[in-house]
Structure 1
Amino acid sequence: MHGLKYSELDEVRKLGLTAHVCKDEDEWNSMTTVDFAKYKAIIVPDCMCNTSLNTIKFLDDTKRVWSPAVTGNMVIIGTDPSFHAKWFNLPGAFAMMRDAISLVATGDRGTGMYFSLSCYYQSTAKPMGIQALSEIGDFQVRGNLSHPCLNNAHLVASSAAMTALNDNIASNWNCSVHEAFSEYPRTGSSGFEALAIALNATGPGEQSFADGTSGIPYIIARGATPLGCGNNITESAYKEDCDEGEANGTPGSLCSSSCKCLYGVTAPGVCRPNVTSTSSSSQTPTSTRYTNSTLLGRVQYIDTSQHHIELSSGDYDAVAQQCYWELISFAVKHY
């Protein structure tokens, strides 16, 4: 691709991870659910503010295969960090990719996923479903948000895996937000949290948060800790199932670090016990855990020039000839 690499791959390597990049669609299509579950995370990068949904058609076509494997942390990003990193060298773009990849590659609940929506939905004025994610839940996004673009970003969740991104460097990208979420799964142990919002944005998807701010989420995550979670008060207004304070997410607790009940709710603030397990209630819902002890994999690139690819600026058409899908590969260890 004229020497250009998407920045997610660079951030993967900076984190000390090893990437396996599918060389073509045949390789991706040949993979089974078991194959996908062997990886620590699946990374679907920002293809330089790409606007053609054909670019991610492979995800939609195979969603019944890879979706069941994605049981770990997830981050879905409604902007184009690789574009802003490559062309404008913005610190916030690098930090966003690094933190999001770090989050999805951690945890003990199985394969995670990083998915940049790039600019696929930026011209969609009404909420539109992300069909590639329909096996995981109902995700609705919209673009055409404001002229000029929405530029005030605010983080409303955190994680120990995320140490670089903050409001200041996530804002003022000359278009910080391309797509915002009007709907997404928010309840249960597989529910998502708003990770970053377009501050003070109004319309479908607008929410209020525990720090008194409001806006529309443009980055959502599964596995992050929302503001207010951990204060030992179950706040249903913020979609909390439970809150056991410092005990959240610890062995023996039925309440996750995201204030979600691991096995369902029996009453407001009361989590259902893990009645299907013969061991303690601290067992996680998946039996396969991962270790960073051994790295596997190789790097390959995929030529998707057969797809129609359109960038937001004609100046960059010459370099928009390829896109890759990368998988972070770790050895699997069963406890």
Structure 2
Amino acid sequence: MFKEKLRTQILGGCLQDYKNHLSGLYKGFYITLDGLQGQYLVKISINPANDADMATLISFLDNHKLNQKKLINAVTGSHSISLTIKMPSLGKNIPDTINSIVDPVIDYLISYTFTSGCSECGSTMDQIDCFEINGGHYFLCNTCKDKIHASLQTSQQEIRSKKSSLVAGLVGAFLGSLIGAALWILIYKLGYIAGIAGAVTAICAMKGYTILGGHLDKKGVIGSVIIMFIAIFFANKMSWSWDAYSALKDYGWTFTDVYKELGYILEETDLVGSYYGELVIGYILTIACSARSIINAFRQSTGSYSIKKVN
């Protein structure tokens, strides 16, 4: 996850690098660090002596957030603290940024005699290990790990037992895709091909399917993605037709005429290659921008999960 030189500067080099996260014991506290889309998520396992300790901790974190511009959010659970940190623009500033935010929190916890154990139940008596659950990382005792595993299995069975209304869902996906198609046309009018518009199309299509179909299952994800590609095709055609109409309207062409005869117009102006080239680029950018959302939606639609111990 980090070059060794940087890792050794982060929290005294106490956290081990497992390629996709850091985790370990720092000053007696179990800590994990994940990188998420321009942010770092630091989770600290804590065990307060009483409820009053948590109230004062929340007040401390609120003030700490005001004093640290890079600290985006600080959330407390019964036995955990989650710190969301904005990534520095320069890699060499990463250790100082993380240390300046996390160290004061650790010092506070030590001074108020907090301890560290399982991030779910707070146990300090059982063996505590780091587990990767659906891409996130948590220090847990085996009892809590087993409970979470059982809960995920139950959820998977419930999700797989749900069925959607395909026709109604596809109507919803179509209506949702219109939002992304409109954004595609708008961005194209500004002179750009934007994969983000394709990603919006995918998200809106899946949301529309969920609303009218009742549930986004596997066939719903597949149907939404197909509609996304169709919507982008027609959005691209609409964009080109608008440009052609702007050039031909003075010669008596209506927009409807241009849209119907776009293929002929492209052949006459030797722009067929450019038209399909831009469409292919648009599809590539769309896939790049929406792949994660589609994959996550597919996993959720099947109730799939992953849980494993970090070596």
TM-score class, shorter: under 0.3
TM-score normalised according to structure 2 size: 0.23
Q: Which has the higher contact order (CA 8 A, sep 6+)?
A: 1
Higher strand share: 1
TM-score normalised according to structure 1 size: 0.22
Higher helix share: 2
Q: Which has the larger radius of gyration?
A: 2
